[in-house]
Amino acid sequence: MSTKFHRALVTGGCGFVGSHLCEQLLAAGTAVVALDNFATSAPDNVSQLLDRPGFELMRHDITEPLPTMGAFDVVFHLASAASPPDYLRLPIETLRAGSVGTANALELAERNRARFVLASTSEVYGDPAVHPQTEQYWGHVNPIGPRSVYDEAKRYAEALTMALRRERNVDTGIARIFNTYGPRMRTDDGRMVPTFIAQALSNTPLTIAGTGEQTRSLCYVEDTVRGLLALASADHPGPINIGNPHEVSVCSLAEEIRAAIGSKSPVTYIDGAIDDPQRRCPDISLAERELGWRPVVGRAEGLRRTIDWFAAPDRDNTALTSVVAARLFDDDVAG
């Protein structure tokens, strides 16, 4: 299903996924306002869009009252810290982005009678007792652990989105995004793919947290954005899983990346992260049935494109932060 939008707001529009979403919206002929406070992103991610007709960039914190921006017919809410080092560094800001920020974005959509798409997360499932994870599963989340600032922010955002849909008839859709990777990820954000690539390119040890037998399901960013656009164009309320159902262990992924680069990096093991999910894999049958969506970029091709981006001559892949060196986290992306 494809609906042409006239003008879109993308909160977190300069983030990893947000910048790709802005790009695809513009390519479809939709005018875009990217709103971002640059807490975990950079204007460089949309530098190629700045001269494009119909694109506007606005620096603003989504938790503050929104300025007058004109009319929108779709609002994508991606504004949030998404990697564990970021949300552990910004715990209160992350909770506010999921609560106050979601309320502000929802109210803007309501005033404009716009379709609202919440970028939620597979983290709402926690360390799941059900595999693969379906949208009917309520999750297994530690509400007071260190990861709870992100997990519970997104769970609250989903609850608020559904409340406004039921009580005020706001046109909403919830996407539960699973692990996403691709160009424009930060080398120092602590997630698995950019960390392994940066380490392999510099022939430094690949650090694996825990046993490495824990699994993830990696979706290339182009596919994730197609899923968000498909949900925006539909009338389904969600939640709908957006992810790749092909599971891979952390150890296997490290070896795939090392082999693709031809790196001599050894593999080292460090302590696992607290409450780290041991299995992560989406059931995407609902997305296939209701949105006609499924990922099409295979992992080998997606990793090749991502490695090529990181290996570009002007890219600095050496500045892994002390947080990353101390502990490797992995998580999906929402902004």
* Residues forming the active site: 150
* Local structure of 31: helix, strand or coil: strand
The answer for residues whose C-beta is within 8 angstroms of residue 180's C-beta and 6 or more apart is 16, 17, 218, 219, 220, 221, 224, 243, 332, 333
Convert 227-241 to b/e letters by CB count within 10 Å (16 or more is b): bbbbbbbbebebbbb
Record the tokens describing residue 237, joined without a space. 């309320």
Query: Are residues 21 and 77 in contact, defined by beta-carbon separation less than 8 angstroms?
Result: no
Which ranges of the chain would DSSP assign to H, the alpha helix? 16-27, 84-89, 91-96, 102-112, 148-168, 192-201, 221-233, 250-261, 285-291, 299-310, 322-326
- Beta-bridged to residue 76, according to DSSP, are 10, 117
Residues in the chain: 335
CA 201 to chain CA centroid, Å, is 24
The C-alpha atoms of residue 257 and residue 56 are separated, in whole angstroms, by 36
